[in-house]
Structure 1
Amino acid sequence: MKTDQIEDLKEREGLVRDLGIEYVELSPERVEMSMPVDARHVQPLGFLHGGASVVLAETVATTGAWLNCPDGKVAFGSEINASHLRPKRSGTLVAVGTPLRRGRNSQVWQVEIRDEGDKPVCVSRCTLAVVDVPEG
């Protein structure tokens, strides 16, 4: 998948848009995205929901994997882990993903999520399966 195709995906309705995730930098070697922390992203006690961090991490990893897929292929997350390092109630998160492995059938991406003060909030590793583009 090429950068211009990803530009089209940015405008589609879905979880990424609903959570306010923004694309900052897109390259096959580095993907950066940001996400606010507001009422959409917190658990009942008012702290950042770990699932919101995982959504951000997987979005970064999947986008990076797409940029590394050959024509006719796309990547889907097959496994993700995340270590939540610091609670947040508000602010902005910045997630940076870099590839650890870019293979023919799978990719592994490391994603570090930091807050507006550059403090680590979450670190994640995502394995993605590289498959033929589904029809339709």
Structure 2
Amino acid sequence: MTDATTSQDDALEWVRERGAGALAEKMGIEFVEFGTQRAVARMPVEGNTQPAMLLHGGAYVVLGESLGSMAANLHAGPGKLAVGIDINATHTRSATSGYVTGVCTPIHLGRSLTVHEIAVDDEQGRRCSTIRITNMIKDAPAASA
């Protein structure tokens, strides 16, 4: 899945078939572009707010981890599993309505570790959060009988 002949459409279809998980689904995360060098997803503010009606800081992190982990798993390829071992976020602005969009780019794509940066912007293009995730690549567990 990670060779140079993999198209953006094939990678986006891989995400749709695999799914991004129940939490990402509950939060309304929608992948709009996907590949090993760039992945993009958006998430609604509504339904993901804290009591002050600002997008919850944890929601930014869920968006970032969903993007970074899925991109790391695409890079890892068949028979491998990428799992998060570190994540951090710096929130610099609060989104209050509409959607936020996360753009995930690799910092390091190795055999055993990946590092991705996810920039999350509001609909006006203003940076709201910057997330960095490190994933460890390991052998996927054997399928249950």
Work out whether the TM-score is over 0.5: yes
Structure 1 residue 13 displacement after superposition:
5.8
- What is residue 15 of structure 1 aligned with on the other side? 23
1:117 to 1:57, Cα distance in 2 relative to 1, 3 A: same
Query: Where does residue 75 of structure 2 map in the other structure?
Result: 68
Q: Which runs of 5+ in 1 are unaligned?
A: none
Cα pair distance change 1:66/1:94, threshold 3 Å: same
Q: What amino acid is the match of 1:8?
A: E
Task: Render the CA deviation track for 1:92-125: whole Å, top value 9, x for unaligned.
Answer: 1010001000111110001000011100000011
Match of 1:46 in 2: 53
Scaled by the length of structure 2, the TM-score of the pair is: 0.86
Stretch deviating more after TM superposition (40-49 or 1-10): 1-10
Partner of residue 45, structure 2: 37
Equivalent residue in structure 1 for 2:35, among 10, 17, 27: 27
Q: Which residue of 2 aligns with 1:59?
A: 66
In structure 1, the residue corresponding to 2:96 is in which secondary structure? Answer: coil
Cα deviation, residue 7, structure 1: 2.1
Structure with greater strand share of residues: 1
Give unpaired runs (5+ residues) of structure 2: 3-10
2:117 to 110, 118, 126: 110
**Distance in 1 separating the partners of 2:14 and 2:39:** 15
- Determine the C-alpha separation between the residues in 1 that align with 2:142 and 2:91: 37
**1:128 aligned residue:** 135
TM-score normalised according to structure 1 size: 0.92
Figure out how many residues of one structure are paired with residues of the other and give that number.
134
TM-superposed deviation, 1:131: 1.1
- Out of 94, 109, 129, the position equivalent to 2:101 is 94
In the alignment, residue 103 of structure 1 is paired with which amino acid?
G
Percent pairwise identity: 35
CA deviation after TM superposition for structure 1 residue 90, in Å: 1.2
